[in-house]
Amino acid sequence: MSWLVTGGAGYIGAHVVRALADGGERVVVYDDLSTGSTDRVPDGVPLVVGSVLDRAALEDAIRDHAVTGVVHIAAKKQVGESVELPLHYYRENVTGLATLLEAMTSTGVGRLVFSSSAAVYGMPDVDLVTEDTPCLPMSPYGETKLIGEWLINAAARAHGIRAASLRYFNVAGAAAPELADSGVFNLIPMVFERLEAGDAPRVFGDDYATPDGTCVRDYIHVKDIASAHLAAARRLTDAPEGTSLILNIGRGEGSSVQEMVDRILKVTGRQDVAPHVTERRPGDPARVVASADRAHAELGWSAGHDLDDTIESAWQGWRHHHG
């Protein structure tokens, strides 16, 4: 197989590219470099600079590189920004995917791994979220991911595409410092930023109905996210036409914000610092933890990295980008 990885020059994409290449797959990166960087593309992997809104450029890339499958990671991913710029998010994430599916069908490419998100569930009121938990996204971002899954299911039925939509939970960490996420949009980098600025890390609310009152999430190492893509790509290679899998990609273990901040302070050697509890952040669900059973059953995959590994590698990455 020869896989086109859209968004392959970004944080998650760069890890997926390495996992596929290390797994013996041929890989081509397709990225508009709006947030991705050429530095993340490994030597020997071709890079095509282009937009997922450009059908002709996608078709050219597919033909030029004899592509037989696509891993679609290119997307806008900031929840708050999606509330401010919903049209932009729908265009990039939904129209971008529709354009890609058109390019795939016109060129006869029949396999797709799609980056979805736990954001499709919204505020799930369950201990462990399964793929059958109702989807009620709370943001335009989450809506675009759910609509993307619907679009893929429809294309699988109509055009025989074999697909896997991977619903990532809270992704963090890095395989190497230079591959780390340089953005500061999630808990772990936000704590690093506060520490570096000499400010106390913030805990957004401690009056949730959870054991310590702070929100619980399922944090997963980006290397595990990457290995799930390799497993999904292989699963699709021999799958029957029209196969369309929806899979949670998490560890199946919850960690509270309080626990995470304590671990981050330990890893960074800043146990002298006391976190500051602030108001709740609007729209935060109390608990979002995956059941990863279906991914294990379908792919034979499960996460192997623990939280300290995740936080330690994120810290090395932070020092690389911001140190």
Q: What is the contact surface with ligand WQD in residues (CB under 6 A)?
A: 77, 79, 117-119, 168, 170, 186-187, 190, 202-204, 215, 217, 257, 281, 284
Closer CB to ligand WQD, residue 100 or residue 187?
A: 187
Closer CB to ligand WQD, residue 118 or residue 156?
A: 118
Closer CB to ligand WQD, residue 240 or residue 282?
A: 282
Closest distance between ligand WQD and the C-beta of residue 245, in Å?
Answer: 18
Closest distance between ligand WQD and the C-beta of residue 205, in Å?
Answer: 7
Catalytic residue among 90, 141, 168, 208: 141
Rounded to whole angstroms, the Cα distance separating 216 from 250 reads: 13
In SS3 terms, 213-242 reads as CCCEECEEEHHHHHHHHHHHHHHHHCCCCC
* Element holding 276 (H helix, E strand): strand 276-278
**Residue type at position 46:** P
Q: Which residues pair with 72 in a beta bridge?
A: 6, 114
Closest distance between ligand WQD and the C-beta of residue 281, in Å?
Answer: 5
Residue 130, number of CB atoms within 10 A of its CB: 14
Best CA proximity match to 222, nearest among 190, 180, 184, 161: 180
Closer CB to ligand WQD, residue 49 or residue 184?
A: 184
Closest distance between ligand WQD and the C-beta of residue 67, in Å?
Answer: 25
Rounded to whole angstroms, the Cα distance separating 97 from 216 reads: 31
- Whether 201 and 191 have beta carbons less than 8 Å apart is answered as yes
Closest distance between ligand WQD and the C-beta of residue 105, in Å?
Answer: 27
Is 208 one of the annotated active-site residues of the chain? no
Rounded to whole angstroms, the Cα distance separating 157 from 14 reads: 30
Q: Is 155 helix (H, G, I), strand (E, B) or coil?
A: helix
Question: Exposed, middle or buried: residue 273 (CB in 10 Å: 0-12, 13-18, 19+)?
Answer: middle
Closest distance between ligand WQD and the C-beta of residue 28, in Å?
Answer: 24
Closer CB to ligand WQD, residue 156 or residue 220?
A: 220
Closer CB to ligand WQD, residue 88 or residue 281?
A: 281
Q: Identify the DSSP state of 119.
A: G
* Element holding 248 (H helix, E strand): strand 244-249
Pairing of strands 216-217, 255-256: antiparallel
Annotated active-site positions, please? Answer: 141
